[in-house]
Amino acid sequence: MREPELSARRLRTWIRLLRMTRATENHLREYLRLHHDTTLPRFDVMAALHRARGPMKMSDLSRQLLVSNGNATAVVERLEKEGLASRAPSEGDRRVVLAELTDKGRDVFEAQATGHRAEVDRLFSMLGHEELDALRDILHRVEEASDGQDG
């Protein structure tokens, strides 16, 4: 295959991946809204705090989620008002703010995560082990190549 044809196929593949990613994300946004009365950003913040299994620096939270400190703070503030998260200054450095899920927040997130996982499973139910392994391997190769091209 000639290079221009291969280049065009790569572009079409990227567009298809992007379209599928956006469609899946939009579906999950709607799922979370309808079934859990929450938003994807709130779910993502709660997931990060849940994975931390304890207090997490707000700066680490925003870095992990690839959002601004202001966006992360706004979401955590809303969660805090609902009793789902708490924030406190670090004992070692009062400028550092730590956030974590409350017990109620952990329970709410775990219910959301169970539903979210089932919905993702349903969306990708046509893929078996071999297909998922192949897709994971391909995406990993692309990711490694992309990492090597940065900077």
pLDDT digits (tens, 9 = 90+) for 88-114: 998 888 889 999 999 999 999 999 999
Q: How confident is the model at residue 87 (pLDDT cuts 50, 70, 90)?
A: very high
Q: Tell whether 92 is covered by a domain.
A: yes
Question: In a 3-state reduction of DSSP, which class is residue 87?
Answer: strand
Q: Tell whether 63 is covered by a domain.
A: yes
Number of domains composing the chain? 1
Please tell me the predicted confidence (pLDDT) of residue 131. Answer: 97
Residue 97 and residue 58 in contact, taking contact as beta carbons nearer than 8 Å: yes
Q: Tell whether 5 is covered by a domain.
A: no
Q: How confident is the model at residue 148 (pLDDT cuts 50, 70, 90)?
A: confident
Q: Tell whether 106 is covered by a domain.
A: yes
The tokens describing 116, both together, are 């979210």
Q: Tell whether 112 is covered by a domain.
A: yes
Q: Tell whether 1 is covered by a domain.
A: no
pLDDT digits (tens, 9 = 90+) for 51-63: 999 999 999 999 9
The tokens describing 95, both together, are 């400028």
Give the integer Cα–Cα distance in Å for 46 and 4: 45
Domain that holds residue 134: 38-149
CATH number where 60 lies: 1.10.10.10
Please tell me the predicted confidence (pLDDT) of residue 92. Answer: 84
What is the chain's mean pLDDT, rounded?
94
Q: Tell whether 18 is covered by a domain.
A: no
Q: What amino acid occupies position 72? A: A
With a threshold of 0.75, does the pTM exceed it?
Answer: yes
Give the integer Cα–Cα distance in Å for 118 and 125: 10
